[in-house]
Structure 1
Amino acid sequence: GKIKAVFHENIVSLSQIYNMKIKEVVVALERFAPLPLQESYDNAGLQIGLTEAEASGVLLCLDVTEAVIQEAVDKGCNLIVAHHPLLFRGLKQISDATYVERCVRAAILNHIAIYAAHTNLDNALGGVNFEIARRIGLQDIRFLVEQNGGGSGIVGTLTVPEEPIAFLRRVKSVFGINCLMHNAGPARPVRRVALCGGAGDFLLKAAAEAEADVFLTGEMGYHLYSDTKTVCGL
């Protein structure tokens, strides 16, 4: 079909999709990031809605919120593709007690399907982790833990080693973030970098075994973060 992209702040609206059903969009997403690549705790895939309807437009977002659903309504989009699953833990009721319940109700009432591409997109070849690596200039990239054509986390090398603080400042600049937490770090220059775009606690040992100088991750448990040197020597 013919697709016109309309950018709005941090959300991309793909409108004017002709003769394309929602299920065809889902098939394309899962061809790139197959659901079997998701971590065992995850709930990626179709969250809400029927897929036989023709796609009137697709709204991309990080998190599904009431404001995002209203934007989809305003833009005439009947499919929302989010990174983080709206339905991550089981619901025992659907009322208006929580924002998740309100989002579910709003999506159903407005005939909007919701799809999440989460850790399957992180773990896909060319997915989230590869994009992070590309932006910080890593070469010779490979998965930290391989699985079924994809993998968890990646490791690669910088063409020119950097001092740890200089590297972290560059990461902040590349991704436009104001705060980056780190431990004392290595005394040596950073050359080999391991990373995981989401919660990467479970990959810390693999990063050490890959001889990474730095491990970048979206989040980490407090005690493991505080005791990183004892745990793995990073």
Structure 2
Amino acid sequence: MPDPEIAIRAFNGLRSHLPLLVALAANSPLWFGRDSGLASARFSLVRSYPRRSVPRAFRDLDDYADTIRAVAAAGDLSDYTYVWWDVRLHPRLGTIELRELDSQSRIADSAAIAALVQALARYEAENPREPEASEAISESSFRASRDGIEATLLDEGELRPVREIAKRTLERVGPFARELGGDRALEGIERMLADGGGAGRQRHALEAGGIEGVLRQLVRETEGAG
């Protein structure tokens, strides 16, 4: 981020996209070899840790820093890196971190999500808007973790399918992705929407070949053959 003002604008705007990103990245549907009923079981597991939540929007960097100091004091934390919000600023690195997304088993999927986040950050920094309530974002994020790409999420006051939200988002940020050199990588989002993402692929593999089939598929994807 080039300066604190831009960082806060991007931070506030990215909060609203957390549910979509959680849905696209959902890639942990299994628990001890069985379908957990969640597209991202990891999402619910990490929610049991402190400071794993959607942060509120902030007026400026001072507001953010004051809140971080208060949280660190209350938790007897050594520094701000122990505040594990779903999205947070990392002032020492000058970056914004999105922490609540599952890892991907295909390199192309990782690149697609990274390109989308980068373009969204640029879009939100240049198009500030009224921030959404953290409570509403949290509810949509849970729906995203449960249903993945098949989820319906709150979008502009209405529940809409993830595929619809994603396609409209891609149209909105496409020009920014091109400017940033991420337009080719961003094309991978369409592939994820078509094949159900990592959670969908794991469930298909489980149905076809059991947990051994899932492991074989993950090896293929990690090696770049999937």
Bigger radius of gyration among the two: 1
In proportion to residue count, which structure has more strand? 1
Question: Structure 1 length normalisation: TM-score?
Answer: 0.27
